[in-house]
Amino acid sequence: MADEGLNRIGAMLEELGARFELVVEAVSGFGGKVDQLKQEIFGQFAEVGSQIRFISDQIGENRAGLNALRSDFGAEMVRLNETIGRTRVEFREQVANAEANLRGAITTAPAPVEAVAENGAVTVEEDLGRDVADSLKKLSAEIKQTNKAVANLSRKFERFDDRMTVQVKDQDQRLKKVESGSRRR
């Protein structure tokens, strides 16, 4: 009976040894897979890190470009305002000179000289008055057109500035998400 018990124990130990070998073999297979998975995860982290650096560089370049564009636009606005101001001053001077010349011509003329046209008599003063009025209308129209162009340019720049600001904020949010996601892991 003792031999039979020992034989049973021996058989159980052999069976346990065989099972243990299977467990060791399975665990060693998992170890290789775990190492492979670990290497893949590290590779993905490295890739995410390089993408974050790339996005960060792009954001920096976009900001630098936006700042340069703002500077250029500001300088152009100053130049346009100076040109418009100079044009207004010159226009006022030309109108004042034309008015002074017209008044001088009227006061120094011995009598109104009339030019005869097919439809009747038209005085020189009326011709000059019409010419000055036409010139004023044309110059006024040009100034209005210039002001409209400046206003349109200003609105376009504001819309562009708003879009660039939104894009930079979106990039910042994406970068923060990526950074916070990589910190959690």
Mean pLDDT, the chain, whole residue set: 79
CB atoms within 10 A of CB 55: 15
In the chain, the N- to C-terminal Cα span, in Å, equals: 61
Residue 59 CA to residue 53 CA, distance in Å, equals 10
Residue 171 CA to residue 169 CA, distance in Å, equals 5
Q: What is the pLDDT of residue 115?
A: 45
Q: What is the pLDDT of residue 1?
A: 59
Residue 46 CA to residue 40 CA, distance in Å, equals 10
Which stretches of 21-119 are assigned E, i.e. beta strand? Answer: 114-117
Backbone φ and ψ of 7, nearest 5°: -65, -40
Q: What is the pLDDT of residue 112?
A: 47
Tens digit of each residue's pLDDT, the chain (185 residues): 567 877 888 888 888 888 888 887 777 777 677 778 888 888 888 888 888 889 888 988 988 988 998 888 888 888 888 888 888 888 888 888 888 887 777 777 555 454 444 445 456 667 777 877 888 788 888 888 888 888 888 888 788 778 888 888 888 888 788 778 767 65
The contacts of residue 40 (CB under 8 Å, 6+ apart) are none
